[in-house]
Structure 1
Amino acid sequence: MHFTLQKSKIAKQSSIQITGSKSESNRLLLLQALYPEFKLENVSNSDDSNLMTNALSSQSELVDIHHAGTAMRFLTAYFSIQEGRETVLTGSKRMKERPIKILVEALQELGAEISYVENEGYPPIKIKGKKLIKSNVSLKANVSSQYISALLLIASKLENGLELTLEGEITSIPYIKMTLSLLDEIGVETSFIDQVITVKPNTKNLEPKTLVVESDWSSASYYFSIAAISEVGTEITIASYKENSLQGDSVLVDIYKHFGVTSTYQGNSITLKKETSNITPLTLDLKNAPDIAQTIAVTCFALGIPCDLTGLHTLKIKETDRLVALKTEIEKLGGQVEITDKSLHLLASNNIKELVSIATYNDHRMAMAFAPLALKEAIIIEDAAVVSKSYPTFWDDLKSIGFQITK
C-alpha cells in the first residue's frame, strides 16, 4: 500500500506519546522468559516485539521471526540453553541473507549444538538446547552489538556464567551498556573492564519487580527531523523519555542542536523547539548510533546542507543495504550522494523534486526517515505499512500533528 504525503505544514505546538523502545523491550522480554518473577510495562507494540513475545511462548519446533533481526540473534542464544528442546529458527527471504555465523560460532565455542539448515553461516538454523558449561569466549568487537548482547542476555543462566573478551575497537557501545544496565537492574551481577565483560551465574530467584520500558529514541528521531525542517518557533513534545537514557540514540539531543533544535526535559517528556535556521554542513561519526543515520541524511537533504556521515559499516547488513538505499532514493529526489562500505557523503541540494515515489525495501526506517520531506514537497511512500516493524501508529501520529496523508 502506497501513501501520498501532500506538502504539509504542522501545528506550531503538538505532542506525541511514542511506544516503548524496541531495543529495551526485546532484551527485557528475553530476560522475563528466563526470570518470570518480574513484570513489564510500556512494552513496544512493534512487529518485532510481538514476534519476540510469540516466539518465546511458542511450543512449536519451527519458529519464524520474519524480518526481526534482533529476535533472530537473541533467540539463537535463548533456544541454545533450553535443555531438551529442538528448535528450527527461520525468517524472511532477507533474513536468510543476513549473517549469523559469528554468533553461532561463539555459542558453539561455549558448547551449544547448532547446525545450518540451508546455507552455511545464515538462517534457518537448527538448535538442540542443552546445558552450557564453558564460560570463556572471544568475539571481534566491531561486529553487530546484537551478537554481543545475545550472549550477555543468557549468560547468568550458564552454569559458570560468562567471560566475554572483545577483540579490537568496540562499536555500538551504548547498546552493550544498555544490556548490562538491564541485567544490573534485575539483579544480575556484571562488570565491563577494558575489553572484558563478565556476567556472574545466577541460580536464585530474583526479587520480583515491575520494570517500565522507556519510549523508543529511534522513533523519536523522526520528530527531531520534523522539528529541524519546520519553521522557527515550532514545538513538538514527545513522551516518555529519561534524561539519563540507556539508549544510544539519545545522542539525538546533542546532534540536532546543529540543526537549530533545542530539547527541554520536563518530567517524562521532552519538548523539541526549532530555534534558528542558520545551519552549516555536518560531519558526524555514527558508529555508536547507526540506526539514526537515515534520519540525519534526510534532514540534511531537506535543509540543503552537505554532510559526511561515517561509522556506518553495520548498515549493509540491516533490513536492506541502507547505504545503497539512501543513495538511490535521495538521488531520485534530486540529491547527489557518494557512499563507501562504511560512510555516506551528501552534496548540498535545494531542489527537491515533487511527488517522487520512495521505495522502502522492506525497511521501516526508510519509510519513516523520508516522511518529514513532506514539509518541503509532496512525496509518495511505497509499502507504507512497513513501519509496523517498529512503530505501528507512525502515520496516525503524523496526521495528528498536521501531515496530510492519503492512501
Structure 2
Amino acid sequence: MHFTLQKSKIAKQSSIQITGSKSESNRLLLLQALYPEFKLENVSNSDDSNLMTNALNSLSDIVDIHHAGTAMRFLTAYFSIQEGRTVTLTGSKRMKERPIEILVEALQELGADISYVQNEGFPPIKIKGKKLTKNKVSLKANVSSQYISALLLIASKLENGLELTLEGEITSIPYINMTLSLLDEIGVESSFTDNIIKIKPITKKLNSKTLTVESDWSSASYYFSIAALSDVGTEITLTSYKENSLQGDSALVDIYKHFGVVTDFKDNAMTLKKEASSLEPLTLDLKNAPDIAQTIAVTCFALGIPCDLIGLHTLKIKETDRLVALKTEIEKLGGKVDITDKSLHLTASHSINELIPIATYNDHRMAMAFAPLALKTSIVIEDAMVVSKSYPTFWNDLESIGFIITE
C-alpha cells in the first residue's frame, strides 16, 4: 500500500502517546519468560515485540520470526538453554542473509548444541536446548550489541553465571548498559569493568514486581525531525519519557539542539520546542545510536545542511543495507550522497523534487525517516504499512498533528 503525503503544516501545539520501547520490551519479554515472577506494563505494540511474545509462548518445533532481527538473536540464546527442547529458528528471505555466526560460535563455546539448516553462518538454525555449565566466552567488541545482550540476558540462568570478555573497542555501549540496568532492575547482579562483563547466577526465586517499559526513543526521533522542519514556536509533547533514559537514542536531545529543537521534561513527558537556529554543517559519530542515522540524514537534507555521519558500520546488516538505501532515495529527491561501508556524507541541497516515490525496502525506518519531508514538499511512501514492525499507529499519529495522508 502506497501513501501520498501532501505538503502539510502541523498544529502549533500537539501531543502524542508513543508505545513502549521495542528494545526494552524485547529484553524484558525474554527475562519474563525466564523469570515469570514479574509483570510488564506499556509493552511495545510493534510487530517485533508481538513476534517475540508469540515465539516465547510457542510450543512449535519451528519458530518463524520473519524480519525481527532482535528476536532472532535473543531467541537463539534463549532456546539454547531450554533443556530437552529442539527448535528450528527461521525468518524471512532477508533474515536468512543476516549473519548469526558470531553469536552461535559464542554459545557453542559455552556448550550449546546449534547447527545450520541451510547456509553456514546464517539462519535457519536448529537448536537443541541443554544445560550450559561453561561460563567464560569472548566476543569482538565492535559486533552488534544484540549478540552481546543475547548472552547477557540468559547469563543468570547458566549454572555458573557468565564472564564475557569484549575484545577491542566497544560499540553500542548504551544498549549493553540498558541490558545490564534491566537485569539489575529484576535483581540480577552484574559488573562491567574495563572490557569484562560478569553476571552472577540466580539461585533463588526473584521477588515479584511490575516493570513499566519506557516509550521508544527511536520512534520519538521522527517527531524531533518534524519539530526541526516546523515553524519557530511549534511544540510537540511526547509521553512517556525519562530525562535519564537508558536508551541510546536519547542522544536525540543533544543532537537536535543543532536544528533549533529544545527539549523540556516534565511529569513523565517531554516537549519539543522549535527555536531559531543558524543551520551549520553537522558532523556526528553515531556508533552508539545508529538507528537514528536515517532520521538525521533526512533532516539535514530537508534543511539544506551538509552532514558527515560516521560510526554506521552496523547499518549494512539491518532490514536492508540502510546506507545504500539512503543514498538511492535522497538522490532521487535531488540530493547528493556519498557513502562508505561505515559513513554517509551529504552535500547541501537547496531544492527537493516533488511527489517522488520513496522505496522502503521492507525497512520501517526508511518509511518513517522520510515522512517529515511532507512539511517541505508532497511525497509518496511505498509499502507504507512496513511501519508496523516498530510503530503500527505512526500514520494515524501524523494525521492527528496535521499531516494530510491519502492512499
Partner of 1:63: 63
Which residues of 2 match residues 79-228 of structure 1 at below 5 A?
79-228=79-228
SS in 2 for 1:256: helix
SS in 2 for 1:258: helix
**Counterpart AA for 1:175:** Y
SS in 2 for 1:298: helix
CA distance in 1, matches of 2:229, 2:217: 18
Partner of 1:26: 26
Which ranges in structure 1 are unaligned for 5 or more consecutive residues?
Answer: none
Partner of 1:246: 246
SS in 1 for 2:159: coil
Offset of residue 52 of structure 1: 0.1
Matched, 1:76 2:82: no
Offset of residue 350 of structure 1: 1.4
CA distance in 2, matches of 1:315, 1:110: 29
Partner of 1:369: 369
Per-residue deviation, residues 246-300 of structure 1 (Å, max 9, x unmatched): 0000000000000000000011110001101421000000000000000000000
SS in 1 for 2:202: coil
Partner of 1:358: 358
Partner of 2:315: 315
Offset of residue 122 of structure 1: 0.2
CA distance in 2, matches of 1:252, 1:267: 19
SS in 1 for 2:257: coil
Per-residue deviation, residues 159-191 of structure 1 (Å, max 9, x unmatched): 100000000000000000000000000000000
CA distance in 2, matches of 1:41, 1:281: 41
Partner of 2:273: 273
**Counterpart AA for 1:217:** W
Aligned CA-pair RMSD: 0.3
**Counterpart AA for 1:154:** I
Per-residue deviation, residues 357-377 of structure 1 (Å, max 9, x unmatched): 000000000000000000000
Per-residue deviation, residues 25-79 of structure 1 (Å, max 9, x unmatched): 0000000000000000000000000000000000000000000000000000000
**Counterpart AA for 1:283:** T
Say if 1:73 and 1:147, in contact at 8 Å, map to a contact too. Answer: yes
Say if 2:258 and 2:277, in contact at 8 Å, map to a contact too. Answer: no
Offset of residue 203 of structure 1: 1.6
Per-residue deviation, residues 86-129 of structure 1 (Å, max 9, x unmatched): 00000000000000000000000000000000000000000000
**Counterpart AA for 2:18:** I
Partner of 1:392: 392
CA distance in 2, matches of 1:327, 1:64: 31
**Counterpart AA for 2:10:** I
CA distance in 1, matches of 2:244, 2:377: 36
Partner of 2:302: 302
CA distance in 2, matches of 1:278, 1:307: 14
**Counterpart AA for 1:274:** K
CA distance in 1, matches of 2:62, 2:97: 19
CA distance in 2, matches of 1:393, 1:156: 36
SS in 2 for 1:353: coil
TM-score, with length taken from structure 1: 1.00
Say if 1:63 and 1:88, in contact at 8 Å, map to a contact too. Answer: yes
Say if 1:67 and 1:92, in contact at 8 Å, map to a contact too. Answer: yes
CA distance in 2, matches of 1:203, 1:323: 45
Partner of 2:287: 287
Partner of 1:40: 40
Offset of residue 154 of structure 1: 0.1
Partner of 1:328: 328
Say if 1:86 and 1:129, in contact at 8 Å, map to a contact too. Answer: yes
**Counterpart AA for 2:312:** L
SS in 2 for 1:88: strand
Say if 1:232 and 1:277, in contact at 8 Å, map to a contact too. Answer: no
CA distance in 1, matches of 2:193, 2:247: 20
CA distance in 1, matches of 2:396, 2:210: 30
CA distance in 1, matches of 2:185, 2:240: 19
Which residues of 2 match residues 249-264 of structure 1 at below 5 A?
249-264=249-264
Say if 2:283 and 2:308, in contact at 8 Å, map to a contact too. Answer: yes
Per-residue deviation, residues 274-330 of structure 1 (Å, max 9, x unmatched): 101421000000000000000000000000000000000000000000000000000
CA distance in 1, matches of 2:138, 2:332: 43
CA distance in 2, matches of 1:95, 1:4: 29
CA distance in 2, matches of 1:277, 1:360: 31
Partner of 1:380: 380
Offset of residue 6 of structure 1: 0.2
CA distance in 2, matches of 1:98, 1:312: 16
Say if 1:280 and 1:305, in contact at 8 Å, map to a contact too. Answer: yes
Offset of residue 232 of structure 1: 0.7
- Using the aligned pairs only, state the percent identity: 85
SS in 2 for 1:257: helix
Per-residue deviation, residues 131-175 of structure 1 (Å, max 9, x unmatched): 000000000000000000000000000010000000000000000
Say if 1:337 and 1:346, in contact at 8 Å, map to a contact too. Answer: yes
Give the paired residue count. Answer: 407
